[in-house]
A = this chain, B = another copy of it.
Amino acid sequence: MPELRFDPITRRWVIIATERAKRPSDFGGHSPTAGSEVESTDFHPDCPFCEGNEAKTPPEVLAFRKPGTKPNEPGWWVRVFPDISPLVSTNTPINKRGYGIYDEISGYGYHEIVAETPKHLADLSDLDDGHVYEVLWAYKERMIKIKTTDPNIKQFIIVRNFGVEAGERFVIRHSHSHIIGLPIITKRINDELIGSSIFYRFHERCIFCDIITNELESKERIVLESDHFVVISFYAARVPFELHILPKRHNPFYETSTEEELRDLAKVIRTTLIKLKKVVNPAYNMILHTAPYYSPNPVYPVEEIYHWHIEIMPRLTKAAGFEWGTGFHINPVPPEKAALYLAEA
């Protein structure tokens, strides 16, 4: 019998199809992107993210590079620059206005690319833990820089898309992430704030902290646990193998993570991605959720109710038409089974 499960954070019901449960071998894994035949090489002449091709991107805004090397030249190991075709930009002034019954804002904001490695490698799991830590540190540094210099920015999203099924728009696959800073709060974060507020109203506790406690006690959906993090196969997973990485310490803002935490996180992310790759090898979206800089629900401060975390959404089911049109998700892999497969991998 299928089960209807309630996600208490976004207040969404999902169907977990326990009877027609699929096994990892039922999924085909991700399609290789164009150019994947050269993914094992260190350099691709057409790839704008490879060391030596710095001229193919807008000027960098941050790079971790060898002493003595110049900006926008080789010598870096993590490099951040504006997207060449940005979703939002700071080129025009911010302009908020009404439009009949509707509301509009000019497309103001930041859209930056983090080239995660100078070598032409496909994904974070191909790097070592120390290198992944530097990427995580770059996120933090850019978020703090933008936050402290531009009061128009209310929220950050950090997204990594891996594989064509996950919306990867680049023809050549080179490990990278998007940092997006926006003058508004996106629906997804607002949903989480509403859900966590409703929980707080009843319990006066952070719902994410309670989920961590509950999951560590039940152990049913734990994929892995480290000193500072826990990776859970989410109880009300919208898609097969949906994973959430949560810091054990209650902290609304990613950018206030300590060096020790981010070093631990690097290892946790890599291990998680390697496990996923072994079990189902999916295309995936990895999204960092962190608290916005004002509360659209002013009853409870975001500092109390929000808890930054990372969500990994594998794209294993071919068409999400029904789910997408109705917002009503059907997941053919019980999260407890997904946790078992991954914990054992």
Binding site for B on A (CB under 8 A): 1-6, 8, 10-13, 15, 17, 20, 85, 87-89, 91-92, 100-108, 157, 159, 161, 164-169, 178, 180, 182-188, 190-191, 194, 210-211, 214, 217-218, 235-236, 283, 285-287, 311, 313, 315, 319-328, 330
Contacts and interface: CB of A to CB of B under 8 A. Distances in A.
B319 A187 contact: no
A10 to B, nearest CB: 7
Contact of A188 (B184, B319, B328): B328
A119 B313 CA distance: 40
A178 B214 CA distance: 37
B102 A235 contact: yes
Copies in the complex: 2
Contacts of A328: 157, 180, 186-188
B319 A165 contact: yes
B166 A327 contact: no
A286 to B, nearest CB: 8
A287 B12 contact: no
Given A168-B321, A322-B159, A186 B88 contact: no
A326 B157 contact: yes
A108 B320 CA distance: 22
Contacts of A185: 13
A3 B104 contact: yes
Contacts of A89: 1
Given A85-B20, A319-B167, A102 B5 contact: yes
A324 B319 contact: no
Contacts of A320: 167, 320, 324
Contacts of A210: 101
A11 B161 CA distance: 25
Nearest to A322: B167
A80 B105 CA distance: 46
Given A15-B87, A167-B320, A324-B285, A1 B107 contact: yes
B3 A321 contact: no
